[in-house]
Structure 1
Amino acid sequence: MMTPAASFIDIRHPEQPLPDSFKGSVVAIGNFDGMHRGHQAVLEDAVKEARATGLKAIMLTFEPHPRTLFRPNRPVFRLTPHEEKALVAKALGLDGMVSLTFDEAFASQSPDLFITDMLISKLNARKVIAGYDFHFGKDRVGTPDYLKEKGEALGIGVTIVDMKTDRSGDAVSSTRIRQALEDGAIAPANRLLGYRHFFSGVVIHGAKNGRKLGYPTANMTLPENSRLREGVYAVKFVRKDGSLHDGVASFGRRPMFDNGPRVFEVHIFDFEGNLYDEEVRVILYSYLREEMKFDGLDALINQMDTDSVQARAILRYAEPLSELETRLWD
């Protein structure tokens, strides 16, 4: 894996000309929701090519997710929104990231216009790298073969990266990861990602029920499109200063109290302090059990004690899944 870039430029929905430093780069193109092992193969190829030729490596992606535009009534369960995507890209060693606005106007562009306007006029790309399943342009008529043929005819080198599979021979895909997270199958999801799934949020005030039980929590709401399985998790909690803390979390509707809106509640072990309004990240290590309703608060507290012991043991012996994961949280 390449050394992370010393500086990383993150540009979202650019309306002005792109920085001169982005021009003449190696450009990796894709939606990259998940930044999983298959995506990493594309991005690492871009970094290797850039370092070998003395160029910059840039990731070109899209926001919002195209399925959100085409099927607004069925918003996609996002794995890596913009900020998370940028964090992984930087850890992979890319020099920058451009997120183009994926709207009706962009979706209706011809493949030729995308190549000539974005790749040539705006980026002056020297080399383009994309995955085997990358499609672009109106009605997705731009195929990887089309990109290679047209790009090379216009003087851009194009590399198409083959499908990456797991040990079973199945393709590594965001669809499989989403389904695993919906099922509470955290270990399989994390293996496909190559790092443990994480998400960001802002700590909000709650009903303070956990504090009354001896388990104060930092509470977060997840996006409406999240289909993460409700239940109890072993987690690590990342503060804005980069510090990591072990914890146990409950995600759901609190059947012992109000059966209200879904909230992700993290009890951080051996921690005291005010976290309200702080933007934090949560890393999922293991799914412990379903959310339950108990016969009284004593039974609930006993189960929370058991959950905490199990979570501490899991986190104590957990090793990084990859060099990338080490870089993410170093």
Structure 2
Amino acid sequence: MNIKDFDFDLPEELIAQTPLLNRTHSKMLVLDRESETIDHKHFYDLPSYLNSGDCLVLNNTRVLPARLYGVKEDTGGKVEVLLLHQQEGDEWEVLVKPAKKVKEGTRISFGDGKLIAECTALKDHGGRIVKLHYDGIFLEVLESLGEMPLPPYIKEQLPDQERYQTVYSKEEGSAAAPTAGLHFTNELLEEIQEQGVEIAYITLHVGLGTFRPVSAETVEEHEMHAEFYDMDQQTAEQLKRIKANGGRIIPVGTTSTRTLETIVRDYGGFTEARGWTDIFIYPPYTFKAVDGLITNFHLPMSTLIMMVSALAGKDVVMKAYHEAIEQRYRFFSFGDAMFIK
């Protein structure tokens, strides 16, 4: 399958640069898979599409202030470093710019030496392994030096860094936000629970795959980058009970979807599990864990629009995207939502 099958023309002005003042006031395109019909609503209408006994699965990862600006110790040359994920101890996989300036043994200083990154290995696509040197508590050092790693298509500054975190973010470790969850407020979550809908939490730390475009000509040739996931026994038992009682399991975001589908694929059902997943979901794919999806509008030819197309059908999804463009929906991280039911 050619990746151009998932291409579409998106006017640049529809790429949302800032979040709305009220998280729940985003538009929400509701796509019914059975009837292939589309309704145009707002995110605060979500409770009317959920039933008592359903379960929303939320990714409670928290974004690290993972973008660092430093200088090479030997030359003073400027280097940008994006922390992707921790390996062992103080070793991290990172992206660096400009990559050609950072070779094995290069030392990069941040905050006049408050933090030092020493390159220990080279990887593809600007990736590096670095050993971090610092005094004190790492997260406190990072908070004082790092910036929120907003995606490259967002040019505006974000005065309130918490707007790039979900209200339920908890587990530090992501290089990007699970953006479908940005539409929720605590009040909306309470309203949903009051009508008998359950909330379950999993963790997937969003990493390099978010920043890597599909460079292969065909979908089948693309290789996903692995990301760490974790689901505890309480959540596994909760999801088994929901399924047994006929409730729908509706993940919030593609990250939650990838986690659930990985676990059911690898273990034959919901179970306590943690590890690394490089699952790549594209048409045709038979979903084994989820019964719907709450998501945002994604980049052309991205792995995310391929996953959405696997769930609702490529032609149906492309029609919905074209209608969203006609209706002036806002796209990408700070954009509007889609609910596939």
Measured against the shorter chain, the TM-score band is under 0.3
Higher relative contact order, chain-length normalized (CA < 8 Å, sep 6+): 2
Structure number with higher strand proportion: 2
**Bigger-Rg structure (1/2):** 1
1 or 2, which has the higher helix percentage? 1
